[in-house]
Structure 1
Amino acid sequence: MPPGKSASAAARPEPRRRIVFLGLRGIPNVQGGVEKHVEMLAGELTACGWDVEVIGRSRYLPHLASGSWNGIRIFPLWAPRKMALEAIVHTFLGVWFAALRRPDILHIHAVGPALFVPLARLLGLRVVVTHHGYDYERQKWGGFARRVLKLGEYFGMRLSHGRIAVSSQVARAMVERYAAPVTYVPNGVSVARPAAKTGILAEFALQPKRYVLLAARFVPEKRQTDLIKAFAKCGDPGFSLVLAGGAEFETPYSREVRALAKSVPGVVLTGFQTGDRLAELFVNAALFVLPSSHEGMPIALLEAMASGLPVLASDIAANKELGLPADDYFPLGDVDALATAMAAKMAHPPSEEQARARMREVEQAYSWASVAQKTLQVYRGLLAR
């Protein structure tokens, strides 16, 4: 025991700390990878004795009956309903709101919101930034928006007190680019088996193990159009293609997806699904496909694997980081190769033992409890300075 410290002082419990999350649409059950990440992480941190607050965008939280959910305080703030302005205006307002709340740590998610790290520091806040991927590579952004996002990355990696990346490749790249320490903390996975049948299969006339599934927002980098075209080439009338997701903003791409889906027999659009309804879609799918051109670390792919599903993913770096067998990947944008791989997967489903083995492997490697503990190490190191 250090000199001058009593036994009671040495045994004193760690003080209760408060964290504010910013840079997301909101929780719970809001579409998006960052939103899922924060929802699960916030729950784990609450269980660890932290006071957790989330600043969300009011239009995504219309059904929030009170200011809290599962012990997490949620603050809906206004943001303009314009794709180019929504996140940036909301984060600017959110930093000022966080300054009024005076948390021990403000945790900003994604490189766009990290644009306001300098403001947060000027307001005396301790800031942690999580890099969820190269958002400036998303197809929807023009030249000016890409430059703004790269500036956000620069501010987040150079000026924040603590830095996290959900991909080891991104973490290495940030260390090389900005000469600042970055902690690799992967996304986690937690798949709730549906407690009972929800009726979603009957609602969309789906048969168990007779459909291919993709759960993702309708944005160009998810490449739903590639998947629809590949499904059409498979030509198997016994299977359906289920696209679970939607678009926050109606865009030329989302209209293209809907039009193409309407023209191909067997394509089913369920809209955004969550909870037991989404879990039932996962559990009963024959195959999960992720044809995207951009990912940070693909939570939906992890969830599919944790559900025991065979999977196909584009061969981008973020997907290959999961280290799947070679036949679980296909060349990005190659519709013919995707169609061939889909047909082979559907013709040769895995055994029950193979499915259970994959479920165990994923759940052990990517638990949200371990994500929370690694994140807490970053927080504690910052607070100890």
Structure 2
Amino acid sequence: MKKIAVVGTVGIPACYGGFESLVENLTFYKSEEVTYTVFCSSKSYKSKLQEHNNAKLIYIPLNANGIQSVVYDIFSLFKCYFLKPDAILILGVSGCCFLPFLRLFSKAKVITNIDGLEWKRDKWGNFAKWFLKKSESIAVKNSDIVVTDNKAIEEYVDEEYGIRPVTIAYGGDHAIRNIKVQPSTDSYALGLCRIEPENNVEMILESFSKSEFNLKFIGNWNSSDFGIALKERYQKCHNIDLLDPIYDLNILYSIRKNCSVYLHGHSAGGTNPSLVEMMHFQVPILAYDCSFNRYSTDNMANYFSSSDDLIDIINSLDFDKLNANALSMFKIANEKYTWLNISEKYEQLF
């Protein structure tokens, strides 16, 4: 039996983002050949379980995100020395500056998922970008296996560092729920993401402000000056409904299930969890035109690269093409983006 320690997430039960959903489902679908120990942020859990999905949970009294994430990850890696796992699965590169020291006193194999070129994100300042790029370099050079979640990042790692990583995406079938949904009488497009510049939220809102097609957009509008400004500017548009984050999965499922088309504006990262989740709903995908999104959708979605592109698509919706798009997305999702398949691939690495 392989003992695996997981470092770099807020923790489980999943309550935050993509890496947390990954660990939630790795532990849920695990075979009898693997045991997991997952490091969790005590700051994020009022109720501190000892186990979840038969995984042992260890709490660190620090935030897993923001500036504290570096110390949080380093402290977790240090504690791995005493756990003596067979392998350490590191998710993200924040604390990987500690890896050269870890390798001096630990025999555990290191598998690092470097995430989606975090240092390129617009939200970081120059020092943070430099630090994350340096951490990425250290992670790649000091890991036994590097994991990427998208072929575009695989190619980047190969070209940048001369190392061929293993590409494993995310599952999305956990978003499908076994409940009946009352069909909507209205047609609407749906957007769902963190409200950040690289997700092209402004481009999408600007396009729909010039259209009569309805848009529901779910996001953390009040978490930044950028989001607040967008909300003030576009909430007055009669066809745009800006919704705060929805944590009730049944309500979210209903909104996703009833949408006519899904808008994916992410331009950074790799295989975005929100995209592969929506591919399981068999709805047409309009995605920002970048290599990450094209790889994720096998070049079979519809793509836009500007507000004008998106306006043209919206104003001349070809429902035969959109239906073909939806069927293709659903087929790809079931072939590539199911959690049982993803869990088996990670266990093969272990």
Question: So what's the TM-score if we normalise by structure 1?
Answer: 0.81
Instruction: Give the 3 Å change call, closer, same or farther, for CA 357–173 of structure 1 in structure 2.
Output: closer
> 1:218·1:246 contact (CA, 8 Å) conserved in 2?
yes
Give 1:325 shift: 4.9
SS at match of 2:210: helix
Question: What CA distance in whole angstroms lies between the structure 1 residues aligned with 2:234 and 2:89?
Answer: 39
Question: What CA distance in whole angstroms lies between the structure 2 residues aligned with 1:105 and 1:294?
Answer: 29
> 1:32·1:217 contact (CA, 8 Å) conserved in 2?
no
Pick one of 314, 335, 340 that aligns with 1:364.
Answer: 335
Pick one of 275, 282, 293 that aligns with 2:267.
Answer: 293
Instruction: Give the 3 Å change call, closer, same or farther, for CA 358–160 of structure 1 in structure 2.
Output: closer
1:328 corresponds in structure 2 to: 302
Instruction: Give the 3 Å change call, closer, same or farther, for CA 156–196 of structure 1 in structure 2.
Output: same
Question: What CA distance in whole angstroms lies between the structure 2 residues aligned with 1:326 and 1:162?
Answer: 31
Question: What CA distance in whole angstroms lies between the structure 2 residues aligned with 1:65 and 1:295?
Answer: 31
Give 1:174 shift: 1.3
> 1:189·1:368 contact (CA, 8 Å) conserved in 2?
yes
What's the % identity of the aligned pairs?
20
> 2:37·2:55 contact (CA, 8 Å) conserved in 1?
yes
Is 1:338 the counterpart of 2:323? The answer is no
Question: What CA distance in whole angstroms lies between the structure 1 residues aligned with 2:79 and 2:235?
Answer: 44
> 1:312·1:328 contact (CA, 8 Å) conserved in 2?
yes
Give 1:149 shift: 0.5
Deviations 1:163-208 (A, max 9, x none): 111112222221232233411222222144333358xx8xxxx945
1:59 corresponds in structure 2 to: 43
1:7 corresponds in structure 2 to: none
SS at match of 2:4: strand
Question: What CA distance in whole angstroms lies between the structure 2 residues aligned with 1:260 and 1:134?
Answer: 31
Question: What CA distance in whole angstroms lies between the structure 2 residues aligned with 1:93 and 1:79?
Answer: 9
> 1:26·1:56 contact (CA, 8 Å) conserved in 2?
yes
> 1:295·1:319 contact (CA, 8 Å) conserved in 2?
no
Q: Tell me, which stretches of 5 or more residues in structure 1 are unaligned?
A: 1-15, 380-385
Count of equivalent residues:
348
Instruction: Give the 3 Å change call, closer, same or farther, for CA 221–67 of structure 1 in structure 2.
Output: farther
SS at match of 1:234: coil
- 2:101 partner amino acid: L
- 2:251 partner amino acid: R
1:74-89 correspondence to structure 2 within 5 Å:
74-80=57-63, 83=66, 85-89=67-71
Is 1:257 the counterpart of 2:239? The answer is no
Question: What CA distance in whole angstroms lies between the structure 1 residues aligned with 2:155 and 2:114?
Answer: 12
Give 1:261 shift: 4.1
- 1:260 partner amino acid: R
SS at match of 2:173: coil
SS at match of 1:271: coil
Is 1:374 the counterpart of 2:345? The answer is yes
1:221 corresponds in structure 2 to: 198
Deviations 1:82-123 (A, max 9, x none): 83x132121122212333322221111123333332233234
1:302 corresponds in structure 2 to: 276
Question: What CA distance in whole angstroms lies between the structure 2 residues aligned with 1:165 and 1:314?
Answer: 20
Q: Which one has the largest radius of gyration?
A: 1
Deviations 1:302-360 (A, max 9, x none): 211211011101111100113455661011xx112212223334x62778787456423
Pick one of 345, 348, 370 that aligns with 2:319.
Answer: 348
Instruction: Give the 3 Å change call, closer, same or farther, for CA 59–372 of structure 1 in structure 2.
Output: same
> 1:208·1:285 contact (CA, 8 Å) conserved in 2?
no
Give 1:141 shift: 0.6
Give 1:65 shift: 5.2
1:243-254 correspondence to structure 2 within 5 Å:
243-246=217-220, 250-254=223-227
SS at match of 2:111: strand
1:28-67 correspondence to structure 2 within 5 Å:
28-44=13-29, 46-62=30-46, 64=47, 66-67=49-50
Q: Tell me, which stretches of 5 or more residues in structure 2 are unaligned?
A: none
Q: What root-mean-square deviation, in Å, do the aligned CA atoms of Structure 1 and Structure 2 show?
A: 2.8
Pick one of 20, 23, 32 that aligns with 2:5.
Answer: 20
1:137 corresponds in structure 2 to: 120
Question: What CA distance in whole angstroms lies between the structure 2 residues aligned with 1:257 and 1:36?
Answer: 28
1:96-111 correspondence to structure 2 within 5 Å:
96-111=78-93
1:228-243 correspondence to structure 2 within 5 Å:
228-236=205-213, 239=214, 241-243=215-217
Instruction: Give the 3 Å change call, closer, same or farther, for CA 129–242 of structure 1 in structure 2.
Output: same
